[in-house]
Structure 1
Amino acid sequence: MGYNLLMKEYSASERQEKAEKLKKRIIFGLGIGISSGGVVLAGGWVFTIVVAAAVFVGAREYFELVRSRGITAGMTPPPRYVSQVCSIICTFMPMLTL
């Protein structure tokens, strides 16, 4: 009898926790969507700078992944300065479109 009561309480608290997580995800998603929409509508330099920042973060993440795991077994990853130069070049690419 006590076990069933405990499972019902756990189930209710678990549902409440899931509902809170869903609420946070929805709010965060709306925030990102509205912000992204504002950047797209603003266009021009605002859009270019935000895209360049996103490209920079993505390039840094990619090169860190390559450096940490290597490209394939037996290959050495590129030196850090090569990764940094490539990231900077990738960052300036969106600015060439203006």
Structure 2
Amino acid sequence: MTTTETTVAITEEQALTLRAIVLEVLELEDEELTDTSRFIEDHEADSLLAIEILARIESDLGVVIPQDQLIEMTHLAAVRTVVARNAGGALHD
């Protein structure tokens, strides 16, 4: 038995919201954050900040991400991928 995973594309506005969440939680300037800069290694994030990012994604975008997927969210591009995978129609502006 195989399962099919559905990924919902996120809009540009939602991508900007994700970026804003990460910038605010990690207390970064816009130019410090790239799609592939690593939260822990490059920005000294810790597990509490990662959980705060999860909570903000849920409250701001209405997307619930299981905590076991937190390990995948190592940089902004990965956050967008995980959010898209878990959106399942739940994304709202």
Q: How high is the TM-score relative to the length of structure 2? A: 0.31
Structure with the bigger RCO (C-alpha within 8 Å, sep 6+) is 2
More helix by share: 1
TM-score, normalising length from structure 1? 0.30
